[in-house]
Structure 1
């Protein structure tokens, strides 16, 4: 059976390449609203961040996503993103331990 190609994306904070499933996509839609895109298919300008709360904190401190998406992002969004990433990382670790 043919091996499937794994899509790779770059984390905008660390500039490291990861498989797409190991990152979370943040999207700025055409109306200028910024939101988390769990499906990775929403319309708009996207930026990827790795599933690590420390990386999200670094993005928050340096306002990396503000520059990549050309929009002012609120602290509430960054705290929501940090909570989402912590939850997803815990889920991933839980499911890896079960196998």
Structure 2
């Protein structure tokens, strides 16, 4: 009898919904305070997860939920990169 592997779940900072980690995008703040999109999910630092939807990114930006989670100012480029990644994924489907 094969054991079912537990799927790691993460909570979206924008919507508060839980999703499998693979279905989310991680934004990370390094020790130096630099905020970046972590597409590999392996960068070290404090991470926060956002659902792969433009609505979630817009909500995170509006509510500044990433700022709160990462205790840092989020540059506009981070939101733009999140949207780019989401749109690229949507094109593949």
Q: Scaled by the length of structure 1, what TM-score is found?
A: 0.84
Q: Distance in 2 between matches of 1:50 and 1:57?
A: 11
2:80 alignment partner, SS class: helix
Runs of 4+ in 1 over 6 A off after TM superposition: none
Please state which structure has a larger fraction of its residues in helix.
Answer: 1
Alignment size in residue pairs? 92
Unaligned runs of 5+ in 2: none
Using the TM superposition, give the Cα deviation of residue 87 of structure 1 relative to its aligned residue in structure 2, in angstroms: 1.5
Aligned-pair Cα RMSD in Å: 1.2
Q: Which of structures 1 and 2 has the larger relative contact order (alpha carbons within 8 angstroms, sep 6+)?
A: 2
Q: Does 1:12 align with 2:28?
A: no
Matches within 5 A, 1:27-42: 27-42=28-43
Contact 1:51 1:89 in 2 (8 A): no
Contact 2:15 2:59 in 1 (8 A): no
1:41 alignment partner, SS class: coil
Q: Deviations over 1:80-99 (max 9, x none)?
A: 221122212433xx2xxxxx
Unaligned runs of 5+ in 1: 95-99
